[in-house]
Amino acid sequence: MHREHRASPLLVALMLGGVWAPGVSFAVALEAVATQASVASAPALMHAKLWHPGIDTTAYLVSEKLDGVRAFWDGQTLRFRSGLPIAAPGWFTAALPKTALDGELWLARGQFDALSGIVRRQQPVDADWRKVHYMLFDLPGASGSFSERVQRMSALVDEVKQPWLQSVVQQRARSAAELQALLNQTVKDDGEGLVLHRANALWSPGRSDALLKLKPVPDEDGRVVAHLAGKGRYTGRLGALLMEMPDGQRFALGTGFTDAQRADPPPVGAVVTYRFRNRTLKGLPRFASFLRVRLPE
């Protein structure tokens, strides 16, 4: 399927924060953002693996998984996880301590699109940023166990004394049943899911069992490697995306698209998020469904 990929001006303007301009194709705009991200130096951060049954939940502190935009503060500059700077107002960054922080820029449950539009603008809108919270969940590079780092984050929040700077609430789940009940209540209240951080874990970048995410329907990011042509009612449009998973395996992602997305699919090279129910014995996602394009942060 060889065609120009044009997304809605509103969507792309919100997601690209000023890179997109009318008349520029989705693929070109995406390439521009990806080029900027490749030049930036991505910070070393911890990343979550998926929770699975059998893990001792009592060893972990549990918090809500916020549907926001991850933000790293290096003591001087607020950055996306790609390393690109976030155009936050001066009053916002001036209040932050001179120590590294890892957290989530967040508005409220179910407000990801609105938040994304605010934090990706090249020129920050002060009134919009007044509604944004910086929710801390770790201190990159700090010594001590996660439990100790949680105490230090609370102390930092108390010192800064800004209502928009908060530490994510951590709690214990005494059993798998209690963890499931907490997940059910979080989702019922329109939350996205849970994050589990092993209480005695030292800070270490990358993915490990020290940091886990638990959602009612798990999701994952993969890279588009090809467009598979549609058949029948989808003739002339996208049938499926050929996806490459983080481990290098490939599969066809053919559900979850609107008619507009099939007519103008994410370009080859784009990173997209897909939901799935569980995995096959080979580790491929079962019943995978397209969720959204994840542009470089």
pLDDT single digits (tens) 166-221: 999 999 999 999 999 999 999 899 898 999 999 999 999 998 999 999 988 888 89
Could you tell me if residue 266 is inside a domain?
Answer: yes
Could you tell me if residue 3 is inside a domain?
Answer: no
Closest CA to 87 of 135, 126, 120, 42: 120
Could you tell me if residue 4 is inside a domain?
Answer: no
CATH code of the domain in which 147 resides: 3.30.470.30
Which of 185, 214, 243 is the C-terminal boundary of a domain?
Answer: 214
Residues 90 and 110 in one domain: yes
pLDDT in tens, 239-284: 999 999 988 999 999 999 999 999 999 999 999 999 887 888 888 9
User: Quick one: pLDDT at residue 42?
Assistant: 83
Could you tell me if residue 223 is inside a domain?
Answer: yes
Residues 197 and 224 in one domain: no
Count of structural domains within the chain: 2
Could you tell me if residue 262 is inside a domain?
Answer: yes
Which of 176, 191, 214 is the C-terminal boundary of a domain?
Answer: 214
98 is catalytic: no
Residues 210 and 88 in one domain: yes
Residues 135 and 179 in one domain: yes
Instruction: Say which of 49, 65, 213, 282 is annotated catalytic.
Output: 65
Token representation of residue 263: 């007519």
Bridge partners of 71, per DSSP, are 103
Residues 26 and 65 in one domain: no
Residues 204 and 69 in one domain: yes
pTM above 0.75, yes or no: no
What is the maximum alpha-carbon separation in the chain?
A: 62
Could you tell me if residue 133 is inside a domain?
Answer: yes
Residues 83 and 195 in one domain: yes
User: Quick one: pLDDT at residue 46?
Assistant: 95
Residues 148 and 268 in one domain: no
Place of tokens 């992602």: 253
Residues 92 and 72 in one domain: yes
Residues 95 and 236 in one domain: no
**CA atoms of 267 and 34, how far apart (whole Å):** 12
CATH code of the domain in which 276 resides: 2.40.50.140
pLDDT in tens, 77-91: 999 988 999 999 999
Could you tell me if residue 55 is inside a domain?
Answer: yes
User: Quick one: pLDDT at residue 297?
Assistant: 57
Higher-pLDDT residue of 104, 15: 104
Count Cβ atoms below 10 Å from residue 219 Cβ, excluding itself. 18
Could you tell me if residue 86 is inside a domain?
Answer: yes
Residues 61 and 187 in one domain: yes
Q: Average pLDDT of 32-47?
A: 65
User: Quick one: pLDDT at residue 52?
Assistant: 85
Q: For residue 285, what are the domain limits?
A: 9-39+218-293
26 sits in which H/E element: helix 26-39
